[in-house]
Structure 1
Amino acid sequence: MNNSIDLHMHSRYSDDGEFTPTELVEKCVVSGIQTMSITDHNTVRANEEAQKEAKKKGIRYIPGIEIDCVFQNTNFHVLGYGIDYQNNDFVRIEKNIDDQSFDVSLKMLAETQALGFHITENDMWKVSKNNFWQGSWTGEMFAEVLLNKPEYNNHPLLRPYRSGGVKSNNSYVNFYWDYYSQGKPCYVKIEYPSLEDVVNIIHRNGGKAVLAHPNVNLKDYYDLLHPLICTGIDGIEAFSSYHTPSQAFHFFRKAKDFKLFVTCGSDFHGKTKPAISLGQHGCLISENELISSLKKYFTLDIDK
């Protein structure tokens, strides 16, 4: 199994990431990662620092971003690799999310209160005070606050996410998926760009567009995969910490059928997803084969 490449991880510039770009590079060194990309949500701020640090440590680095977008009324994540991250297109992507974040956060707070929880703005400011996106309160952050309130130790809604519960593995993100993701009780809509526009933005900035962890977003909409591919995406993240071996093989075969390239990524965040470690994506392609494929699309600044 190849775990020396990880092209999907998040720094503190993501609203749910824990570590600085430099800390992620250092963690990659310890984990044996030799090729990496930091793909923060809707921002490219990590790339300059990470690229410099990776070069110092002898690690190949591919600039990246993960952009929220919409295709046929369904939310998706598209990874952009090899992009010109200094272009103002990415400033505008970040600003679009930033402009909406606090209003959305307050609405999420109201929906959380409607579940019967006594939770305040002050609670949320305390947990977000050291974050880059201070006014963006994620479902994972609501989970962190609620699961650490003593008065809710035995609350039935929270029981599955506590130690020993059926959803205690990555409890924060599981709570997010169950209550704050699209179609769930505390979901609040954000105006994301269309997937077609995101693919075009990535392409005009010299990058390649890759569909992130497809089973997460396609699990109820598998019929969308073919029209989605027709938008011009270049690759599929077939190997992901969220995919079973059979799911990974399905998306690997789909990529090959449509002559798309394949990537692998853990989606490492830190405390938000503690059960996910760097390099944990189950990629069965050899390092040489994967690197050879990547070199067709990207300039890898360190030859190993």
Structure 2
Amino acid sequence: MIAKFIDLHIHSYYSDDGEFSPADLVRMCHDRGITTMAIADHNSIKAVDEARKEAYKYHIQYINAIEVDCTYRGINLHVLGYGIDYRKNVFYDLEENILRQERSCSTKKLELTNNLGFDIQKEQLDGLSRSGIYTGEMFAEILLNDSRYKKHELLRPYRSGGNRSDNPYVNFYWDFYAQGKPNYTEIIYPSLEKAVNLITENGGVSVLAHPGNNLKGKFELLDEMIASGLQGVEAFSNYHDENTVEYFLQKSRENNLLVTCGSDFHGKTKPAIKLGETMCMIDECEIQNDLVKRGLI
């Protein structure tokens, strides 16, 4: 049996779609037998200090991390940064810039959602948001728990037995608020090149997150990204089938990239995703050894 003890893509409540505190996540990892972990919040390093202190208590190897939203050829992507010097002001500046834009877009999202025939009040959203940011997942949580919309046709796929009911909140986000969808509101993210440079210049290793999810039908763009300085690929992800895993694993080995595995655990917004479930199909000792070789643990 292949040992499973690594999860390098976890979100705390410092991500606007996360649920648990950093300390809670460390304890949860301990309970699941995870001994090497990273909390990679969206554009935020706020979890690191708390998580590192808790990980020390449980003898868990903790890797500083962030997940940077960025763009390449008009495609929104996520790049994971591992081993970063997280105390640099540049990471706080990144977070504040994106938070400012997201708060502005939240009002527009509320308007667009209510234009679909709903009546959500700002106060309902404020009851779910820690930061004044309203996510597609929050809209879904409110709507799916509002008795007025129990039989609403638009919500049917997200209810029990529906074809989008496995992760109803995030699926609602992907269907209505993601890039190219009717309620999408644009945030100006850094380019892939800038994201990679930000990570590299601050001591980290840049890894493309769940590429099968973001590069659908455009896997060949990975070669260009490698030329731009990308250093790793999250080949093992809950969003990848076996063929996708094999493609990115092979590409990584051909180009001497760091191969990582991550669940993308969030909690209630993605209930079908469990900590430590990463679709990893190789011995995780191989990943561990590469992390050591690259100075990440």
For Structure 1 versus Structure 2, the TM-score category normalised by the shorter chain is over 0.9
Corresponding residue number in structure 1 for 2:19: 18
Corresponding residue number in structure 2 for 1:277: 274
Q: Does 1:140 align with 2:141?
A: no
Task: Report if aligned partners of 1:3, 1:282 keep a CA contact under 8 Å in 2.
Answer: no
- Deviation of 1:2 (Å): 4.1
- Deviation of 1:170 (Å): 0.6
- For 1:298 and 1:113, the matched residues in 2 are separated by 49
Instruction: State which of 174, 177, 180 in structure 1 corresponds to 2:177.
Output: 180
Task: Report if aligned partners of 1:235, 1:255 keep a CA contact under 8 Å in 2.
Answer: yes
- Which ranges of structure 2 fall in alignment gaps of 5 or more residues? none
- For 1:2 and 1:170, the matched residues in 2 are separated by 27
Corresponding residue number in structure 1 for 2:163: 166
Q: Does 1:83 align with 2:84?
A: yes
- For 1:109 and 1:194, the matched residues in 2 are separated by 28
Instruction: State which of 213, 216, 221 in structure 2 corresponds to 1:216.
Output: 213
**Residues 182-229 of structure 1: per-residue CA shift (max 9 Å, x gap):** 000000000111110010010011000000000111013323222122
- Which ranges of structure 1 fall in alignment gaps of 5 or more residues? none
Corresponding residue number in structure 2 for 1:71: 72
CA-based RMSD: 1.0
**Residues 126-149 of structure 1: per-residue CA shift (max 9 Å, x gap):** 222xx2xx2111111111011111
- For 2:278 and 2:222, the matched residues in 1 are separated by 21
Which runs of 4 or more aligned residues in structure 1 lie more than 6 Å from their structure 2 counterparts after TM superposition? none
- What secondary structure is seen at the aligned counterpart in 1 of 2:4? coil
**Letter aligned with residue 29 of structure 1:** H
Instruction: State which of 242, 246, 271 in structure 2 corresponds to 1:245.
Output: 242
Task: Report if aligned partners of 2:5, 2:36 keep a CA contact under 8 Å in 1.
Answer: yes
Q: Does 1:258 align with 2:255?
A: yes
**Letter aligned with residue 49 of structure 1:** E
Task: Report if aligned partners of 2:71, 2:77 keep a CA contact under 8 Å in 1.
Answer: yes
Corresponding residue number in structure 1 for 2:289: 292
Please give the TM-score of this superposition, normalised by the length of structure 2. 0.97
Q: Does 1:40 align with 2:37?
A: no
- For 2:262 and 2:295, the matched residues in 1 are separated by 17
Corresponding residue number in structure 2 for 1:121: 122
- What secondary structure is seen at the aligned counterpart in 2 of 1:154? coil
- Deviation of 1:117 (Å): 1.4
Task: Report if aligned partners of 2:82, 2:296 keep a CA contact under 8 Å in 1.
Answer: no
**Residues 85-107 of structure 1: per-residue CA shift (max 9 Å, x gap):** 00011011101111112210011
Please give the TM-score of this superposition, normalised by the length of structure 1. 0.95
- For 1:108 and 1:220, the matched residues in 2 are separated by 28
- For 2:213 and 2:105, the matched residues in 1 are separated by 23
Q: Quick one: structure 1 residues 25 and 215, their matched pair in 2 at CA, closer, same or farther if it must change by over 3 Å? A: same
- For 1:124 and 1:87, the matched residues in 2 are separated by 32
Task: Report if aligned partners of 1:2, 1:286 keep a CA contact under 8 Å in 2.
Answer: yes
- For 2:171 and 2:234, the matched residues in 1 are separated by 21
- What secondary structure is seen at the aligned counterpart in 2 of 1:251? helix
- Deviation of 1:3 (Å): 2.4
- What secondary structure is seen at the aligned counterpart in 2 of 1:127? coil
- For 1:197 and 1:59, the matched residues in 2 are separated by 31
Task: Report if aligned partners of 2:106, 2:134 keep a CA contact under 8 Å in 1.
Answer: yes
- Deviation of 1:299 (Å): 4.0
Corresponding residue number in structure 1 for 2:194: 197
Count of residues paired in the alignment? 296
- For 2:247 and 2:220, the matched residues in 1 are separated by 14
